[in-house]
Chain A
Amino acid sequence: FDQEKKIKNRESFSFWIPSQSNVCCPFKLTLSSLIVARVEHLSPPAKMKIMVAVKRVIDYAVKIRVKPDKSGVETQNVKMSMNPFCEIALEEALRIKEAGLASEVVAVTIGPKQSIDTLRTGLAMGADRGIHVEATGDLFPLAVAKLFKALVEIEKPGLIILGKQAIDNDCNQTGQMVAGLLGWPQGTFASKVVLDKEKQEVMVDREVDGGLETVCLNLPAVITTDLRLNQPRYATLPNIMKAKSKPVKKYTPEELNVGTKSDLEVVEITEPPKRKAGVLVSSVDELIDKLRNEAHVI
């Protein structure tokens, strides 16, 4: 509590510096700033906030249909849910908080009006607060990352956790771009996360092509989650009840001073070619003939 007060003083103090005309007690200003600076340097931040990105996507179990005009996939009357990797990200944040290593979990969603449903699911799972950046139209990872950066500057989290990719566009870019824009270290495809609050660092096991790679990141850092990190909890009724009174702050991209116009444009969406039926051959000679003359692979 004491520390909080001092930090608060510092924030208001920083407005004083430019106004050199304040001759009242110049000596006092300098001294208190010295004391505050020392205190800040000695002890790690007591209250770490975790920011988690959650996205509203077409439910994983739904059979996707491409619209006849090839402009996109059918989303009318289709079940929408939280992106599975975002669920895992939120679950990890909640576990870190429950272990006493973070004080608050803030769920963030960027999307149209209905994205609030996904945020509500996040709150029902246990997030403390929600932020909804209401933006319509096609949002590409770079725009999302820029919006995230703007929110980070407001919220100042110690850790950002995102899903490794969204199952609708499979980009796998947003987490990396956020880290790049902020200049923060990143641990992507996390299958294990171990936070060390004292040392202000986090060890991340990454699932890579060759196996597992362990990286050690200084906080603040960005982590993106892979499938095997954890098994997300269900939204229990008591938590659903509590979620109704949890605050949700709304922003627009304009308020955050971020332009969302992309230099990418989706030209066409088509289904992958239908798999052709297999053919039974009657002899090895026939097989060789087909491989050479039809499939042209030998």
Chain B
Amino acid sequence: MAAAVATPLKFTFSSSHGSTRRLQWRNNQRSVKRPYRGAITAKIEHKPPPYSLEALEPHMSRETFEYHWGKHHRAYVDNLNKQIVGTELDTMPLEEIILATYNKGDLLPPFNNAAQVWNHEFFWESMKPGGGGQPSQEVLDLIKRDFGSFEAFVTEFKAAAATQFGSGWAWLVYKANKLNVGNAVNPLPSEEDKKLVVVKSPNAINPLVYDYSPLLTIDVWEHAYYLDFQNRRPDYISTFMEKLVSWDAVSLRLEAAKARAAEREREEERARNEYEGDDSQTDPQPVEMYGTDSDDSEAD
């Protein structure tokens, strides 16, 4: 659970998110190798999609994958590795690089590359051959609860993707955080606070930086669809929903997101109990500020 790499280069990423952030995503991002000096450096990997480059034809062409995965995604990986080598970021998992370089909105140079690496991996895994159709019952129930109906969700997701002006992404996310203020406590926590939400983001921004759990994404940078659809972004979006989306991936991600949210709640509970416990030890009884003896201040 604690940071795994203990080297002189270790970056202490202090966060209010707690160690539950470690439970995130996949930890198969890194191939660790030891250069001659003995210090550990790790390279971000250019991960292939979980299917061959022509597997999504005719809905997304092999040619698109050759450029989109083979050139765009690869360039983000290569450029990121060049930027982080020898720096503190070099020992961090990808998600931590993203959060550190997001820098509360004042983006540091590696952010675009790091976030785009993450986004593209997430995107390939959001699709599968023979995709489309309907989600699992559990996901469907949540969709119906939070959007009214599956059709209403699809409409909103498509609209978000179509109206993301310029380059960016549209997402289905699981929003588990209840309050944005660090030390505030929700007086009436309930399952209803955890919602499925559709969001859109520009360029490289993704919902990790807002502490949401992404479940699904579609890339609406023009390079994602221009070879296959030219300007017809709405057709691309429809094809994605009808033929490509992997509801299996969404289910897996939802499970992980719920587990994280539950773990975080337990941690917050523990932290609160500790705090209150300390108080009761040092201050077992209320202190009497004013004695019951006669007050001499008004004595003649």
A and B interact: no
A contact residues vs B (CB 8 Å cutoff): none
Q: Residues of B at under 8 Å CB distance from A?
A: none
